[in-house]
Amino acid sequence: MAPHRTLPPLPSLLAFEAAARLQNFSHAAAVLGMTQSAVSQHVTVLEQTIGQPLFRRLHRGVTLTEAGVVLYAAVGRGLDTIEVALGELRREPSVPTLSIATDFGFASFWLMPRLETLGRALPDVEIRVVTTHNPPQQAQIDADVAIIFGVPGPGSVRLFPESVVPVCSPAFLARHGTVDGAIDWASVPLLELDGPEPSRWLRWRDWFEAQGLPPRRRRETVVHLNTYPLVVEAAMLGQGAALGWQPLLDRHLASGALVALAEERVETERGYRLFEPPSSGANPAVPLFRRWLLDACSL
């Protein structure tokens, strides 16, 4: 018989996950239908259980500590697994399905605008998109297919490389434009995408190094955000310059919602890749999706 689990209360974990995802206790309370003080109390329970703080309290919102980042990734994986399992139980057994695991950025900026064409390519298939900030390793994938950002891995198919250019809103560019043809990077507010693995994607320091520029020293002009949609939203609101992954932001650049702050692009061996777990071979929708995806990425 398995030993008794010594986990914190589930409401505390749910309150923590919402606060970490939204970076704000009040917003988490609104989503969960409870008071801000209740969310705070649940987080306090977790912090007392762990013996260290999970959040740094800011003037407007909160940000995760190192311990908070670790717990947020673990709770997210657990909730994702539960969500997938519940979906499987609810699903009509006669309806063909295809579950796609990927991160927030790819789902929001590349896949969502193409859902209509995907539906036409797989007209009789129920599509399920499961997103997470920290996609699972290949051996841990619990989906029919996964679109994973990272370095090349066995059994994966390259979709497109990591290609990054600094972007900002047109209004931000007007305020922080070039001086004698050069940008004063030391004074430009930056938006940084944080994650549990510091080297998993390109950071501002990497872009500066690739351009032969000195590293930034004024950390007070850097805003850290934990999902790429938040980074892009902040950039469109003129709150800073962001690293723009292409082709995720091609639509934003084409529409003028975002503009390139500098033309210098950095490419790495990382990038988005398609991975099909061994169990996906039994799903007839997988080869149809693969064909559609590779065609869409080549356009």
Q: Residue 10: its pLDDT value, please?
A: 87
* 105 in a structural domain: yes
Q: Residue 131: its pLDDT value, please?
A: 85
Q: Are residues 48 and 173 in the same domain?
A: no
In this structure, of 89-103, 115-129, 243-257, the range with the lowest mean pLDDT score is 89-103
**By the 8 A CB rule, do 229 and 131 touch?**
no
SS3 102: strand
Boundary-marking domain end, from 72, 102, 124: 72
Q: Are residues 201 and 246 in the same domain?
A: yes
Q: Which residue has the tokens 């994986």?
A: 77
Pairing of strands 222-225, 190-193: parallel
Integer Cα distance of 127 and 124 in angstroms: 9
Q: Are residues 167 and 144 in the same domain?
A: no
* 85 in a structural domain: no
* 115 in a structural domain: yes
Total domains present in the chain: 3
* 81 in a structural domain: no
Greatest Cα-to-Cα distance within the chain, rounded to the nearest angstrom:
73
Encode pLDDT of 166-179 as tens digits. Answer: 999 999 988 887 65
**By the 8 A CB rule, do 100 and 136 touch?**
no
Average pLDDT, the chain: 85
Integer Cα distance of 18 and 55 in angstroms: 13
Q: Residue 134: its pLDDT value, please?
A: 63
Q: Are residues 46 and 193 in the same domain?
A: no
The closest alpha carbon to 99, from 113, 85, 109, 110, belongs to 85
| pLDDT bracket for residue 1 (50, 70, 90) | very low
User: What is the CB-side half-sphere exposure of residue 215 using CA atoms within 13 A?
Assistant: 5
Tell me the residue range of the domain where 229 lies: 162-267
**Measured torsion, CA atoms of residues 198, 203, 208, 214, in degrees rounded to the nearest 10:** -40
* 208 in a structural domain: yes
Q: Are residues 255 and 176 in the same domain?
A: yes
CA-CA distances (angstroms) from residue 7 to 50, 87, 220?
11, 24, 37
**pTM for this one?**
0.63
* 3 in a structural domain: no
**251 or 8, which is more confident?**
251
Q: Are residues 210 and 233 in the same domain?
A: yes
Read off the CATH number of the domain in which 100 is found. Answer: 3.40.190.10
SS3 276: coil
Q: Are residues 275 and 153 in the same domain?
A: yes
Q: Are residues 261 and 227 in the same domain?
A: yes
Q: Are residues 260 and 288 in the same domain?
A: no
| pLDDT bracket for residue 279 (50, 70, 90) | confident
CA angle 133, 138, 142 (to 5 degrees): 75
| pLDDT bracket for residue 180 (50, 70, 90) | low
Q: Residue 88: its pLDDT value, please?
A: 77
* 51 in a structural domain: yes
Read off the CATH number of the domain in which 36 is found. Answer: 1.10.10.10
Q: Are residues 170 and 241 in the same domain?
A: yes
SS3 81: helix
Q: Are residues 62 and 25 in the same domain?
A: yes
Encode pLDDT of 123-175 as tens digits. Answer: 989 999 988 766 555 545 678 899 988 777 777 888 999 999 999 999 998 88
**Which residue spans within 169-241 are E strands per DSSP?**
190-193, 222-225
Encode pLDDT of 199-235 as tens digits. Answer: 678 888 889 899 888 877 766 678 888 888 999 999 9
Segment 62-87 mean pLDDT: 89
Q: Are residues 98 and 16 in the same domain?
A: no
